Amino acid sequence: MNKNAMEINGQRLWDSLEASGQIGKLRGTGLRRLPLSDANKEMRDTFCAWAEAAGCTVTVDQVGNIFARRPGRDDALPAIATGSHLDTQMCGGKYDGVLGVMSGLEVIRTLNDLGVETKRPIELVVWSNEEGARFTPPMQGSLAFAGDLSLETVLASQDADGLRFADELRRIGYDGTRELGESEFEAYLELHIEQGPVLDRIGIDTGIVVAGFKSHGLKIQVTGNTAHVGPTPMDERQNALVGAAHLITAVDAIGWKHHPQGGKSTTPHISCFPNLPGIIPESAQLTVDFRHPEPEIADQMLAEVKAAMAEAAEKANVKMEIIDSWSFGDNPFSDDCIKALADTADAMGINYMEIRSQAGHDAYAIGKIAPMGMIFTPCTAGVSHNVEESIELDRTLPGVNLLLNTMVDLANR
Ligand SMILES: [Zn+2]
């Protein structure tokens, strides 16, 4: 690395990740830290203590997003921000989201160690509920901050047990008073593990994200009718689960059709009612997700899924309708941020590649209100949303050092 570039303390970063890995530990190497759970509270408390020990002012907004601020010389200027999430999937790994937060903390700690002042303030944000593993939609905190979800919608959302976001947020003590979107960011950079195999397979340690995948999500209601599983003739059944099954395989086939160009499709969730032996199900709900690097093809896949719904409904003699839908990935990345990252990487002698993001991230929401860029670091074999998720410190450090040096460059502009 170029001798003028600053370097973070790798061991301290690793220790922070390992300490986080003890909170909500699952199956030895994984984490289950659902948003607004006791484990999430413990991690939030730990983070706030670390940020305060690093001299930051910590504030919490109305949906529980946490902001740790390191003042700038001209503190009235908009901050250079970074951040990610500390909530995890149901069977999550130790690095998804956590690496981005701990890297941001390490940026601040390193600037303290080196006695570096910046012209602009630096803000490190922990976004509430990125994964959507308990309350939906995913990226709730960053979407609300960016004005894409209303405060009321977030606070009223419920988990599978009917517990309300607002009540759970108050229970863990993170119902903050800071107004949503109160601060303006000059730029927002997020570091994240790639969650795919590209960097690991190619053997390059740093990815500068230049575009996303267009992604569509649908919640589909299948409605049939209950009946006895014995006497009801086959041709008189309206089995909602059979309709759902036809659709699941059709959605999978659509993914395979577009696989050569990088398309993919998934039905990750199904619920069924009454879901009991002896009775034909009257209702099924599916969540369907499909993605493609070309936005027009992703839209074409949406049309194909709708056609498959009509076919599956007819085959199973049931009704199907889309009851909720969302999409993201309309290129939210800023050319200025991409250039700042690439210029800094070149100056530091960091070998990087341009890469696409295939997952959703908080950065997408922030990209709508501020210039935004992302750095990817490798995870072993691309395994993520799995307790086996793992990283190598040596292959992670170039990306974290790129975050540090780019943030300082931007904060002194
Ligand atoms: Zn993540």
Asked whether residue 5 is assigned to any structural domain, the reply reads: no
Is 240 in the same domain as 265? yes
Question: Could you tell me how many residues make up the chain?
Answer: 413
Largest CA distance in the chain: 80
Distance 130 CA to ligand 1 centre (A): 7
Is 182 in the same domain as 219? no
Element (H, E) at 99: helix 98-114
Distance 192 CA to ligand 1 centre (A): 7
Is 141 in the same domain as 29? yes
Which of 267, 297, 328 represents a domain boundary (last residue)?
328
For residue range 146-194, list pLDDT tens digits in order: 999 999 999 999 999 999 999 999 999 999 999 998 889 999 999 999 9
Task: Specify the CATH number for the domain of residue 324.
Answer: 3.30.70.360
Is 137 in the same domain as 253? no
Distance 392 CA to ligand 1 centre (A): 17
> DSSP class of residue 196?
S
Please report which confidence band the pLDDT of residue 4 belongs to, taking 50, 70 and 90 as the band edges.
confident
Distance 310 CA to ligand 1 centre (A): 34
Task: Specify the CATH number for the domain of residue 178.
Answer: 3.40.630.10
**Domain, as residue range, for 301:** 215-328
Which of 328, 344, 360 represents a domain boundary (last residue)?
328
Please report which confidence band the pLDDT of residue 391 belongs to, taking 50, 70 and 90 as the band edges.
very high
Distance CA 209, CA 196 (A): 13
For residue range 256-276, list pLDDT tens digits in order: 999 999 999 999 999 999 999
Average pLDDT over residues 211-217: 92
Distance 399 CA to ligand 1 centre (A): 16
Asked whether residue 273 is assigned to any structural domain, the reply reads: yes
Residue 384 near residue 376 (C-beta atoms within 8 A): no
For residue range 13-41, list pLDDT tens digits in order: 999 999 999 999 999 999 999 999 999 99
Asked whether residue 359 is assigned to any structural domain, the reply reads: yes
Residue 200 has pLDDT above 80, yes or no: yes
Distance 40 CA to ligand 1 centre (A): 15
Distance 412 CA to ligand 1 centre (A): 28
Is 100 in the same domain as 241? no
Asked whether residue 30 is assigned to any structural domain, the reply reads: yes
For residue range 106-117, list pLDDT tens digits in order: 999 999 999 999
Average pLDDT over residues 6-14: 98
Average pLDDT over residues 284-304: 96
For residue range 124-151, list pLDDT tens digits in order: 999 999 999 999 889 999 999 999 999 9
Is 196 in the same domain as 286? no
Distance CA 312, CA 249 (A): 10
Residues near 213 by Cβ (< 8 Å), separated by ≥ 6?
A: 262, 291, 292, 293, 298, 329, 356, 357, 358
Count of domains forming the chain: 2
Which of 298, 328, 358 represents a domain boundary (last residue)?
328
